[in-house]
């Protein structure tokens, strides 16, 4: 089961000066390298998304993405992002922890939790990496929890309107494909994933809602 594959989640690259993500984590949270600021997180600490399985044909389920207090992993602060299901219990369906690379050229995912399993990625996986140019590729290989894994990435589009990144991950004997669309400011606005669970495959489409919208439309 490809747990790491389940996600329910600018112009030219300039210098690598660092920018804080928000005042709430300014004193203790990690800094986001300048090339990724527009995509990693927006000025709003919340985002509503519609997640629909079976290729987007099933009834969508609303999920709320929010920024939580930063977490120390091996002594380094990480951004902690969670996804909440609707309802009074505010059930957290999944979480992810991120930080920049030492040289500021990559945005890394160091840990994920989907359902009840919290998995460390060793070494942390570069979700975004400079240069942010169409056609750029990179790879990752390491451990996802206790299992060996590998991933390849390709930037399919990079312009002033959108950044589109495709990720193919092999883990626990199965392969998943995710295509994420980021827009400057809102960050992640759409994600399409295919997960080959036996005996049949399945796919999910996640789109960000416009403010006040009741349908699956992106910001």
Between 20 and 202, where is the model more confident? 202
pLDDT digits (tens, 9 = 90+) for 69-122: 899 999 999 999 999 998 888 899 899 999 999 999 999 999 999 877 899 999
The pLDDT of residue 163: 97
Residue environment code for 179-204, b if the CB has 16+ CB neighbours within 10 A, otherwise e: bbbbbbebbbbbbbbbbbeeeeeebb
pLDDT digits (tens, 9 = 90+) for 23-52: 444 456 798 999 999 998 755 557 899 999
pLDDT digits (tens, 9 = 90+) for 127-168: 999 999 999 999 999 999 999 999 999 999 999 999 999 999
Q: What is the Cα–Cα distance from 183 to 150, expressed in whole angstroms?
A: 27
Domain map (residue ranges) of the chain: 3-208
- What are the helix (H) ranges across 22-136? 37-40
Q: Give 197's DSSP letter.
A: -
pTM of this prediction exceeds 0.85: no
The pLDDT of residue 105: 97
Could you tell me which residues are beta bridge partners of residue 11?
A: none
């Amino acid at each position: 089961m490809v747990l790491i594959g389940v996600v329910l989640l600018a112009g030219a690259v300039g210098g690598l000066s660092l920018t804080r993500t928000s005042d709430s984590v300014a004193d203790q949270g990690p800094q986001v390298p300048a090339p990724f600021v527009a995509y990693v997180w927006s000025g709003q600490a919340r985002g509503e998304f519609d997640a629909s399985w079976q290729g987007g044909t099933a009834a969508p389920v609303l999920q709320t993405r929010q920024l939580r207090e930063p977490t120390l992993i091996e002594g380094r602060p990480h951004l902690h992002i969670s996804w909440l299901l609707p309802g009074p219990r505010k059930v957290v369906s999944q979480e992810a922890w991120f930080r920049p690379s030492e040289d500021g050229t990559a945005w890394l995912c160091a840990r994920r939790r989907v359902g009840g399993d919290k998995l460390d990625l060793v070494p942390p996986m570069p979700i975004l990496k400079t240069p942010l140019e169409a056609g750029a590729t990179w790879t990752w290989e390491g451990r996802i929890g206790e299992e060996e894994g590998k991933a390849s990435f390709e930037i399919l589009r990079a312009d002033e309107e959108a950044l589109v990144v495709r990720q193919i991950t092999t883990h626990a004997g199965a392969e998943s494909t995710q295509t994420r669309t980021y827009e400057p400011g809102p960050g992640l606005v759409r994600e399409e994933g295919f997960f080959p669970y036996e005996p049949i495959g399945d796919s999910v489409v996640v789109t960000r809602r416009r403010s006040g919208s009741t349908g699956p439309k992106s910001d």
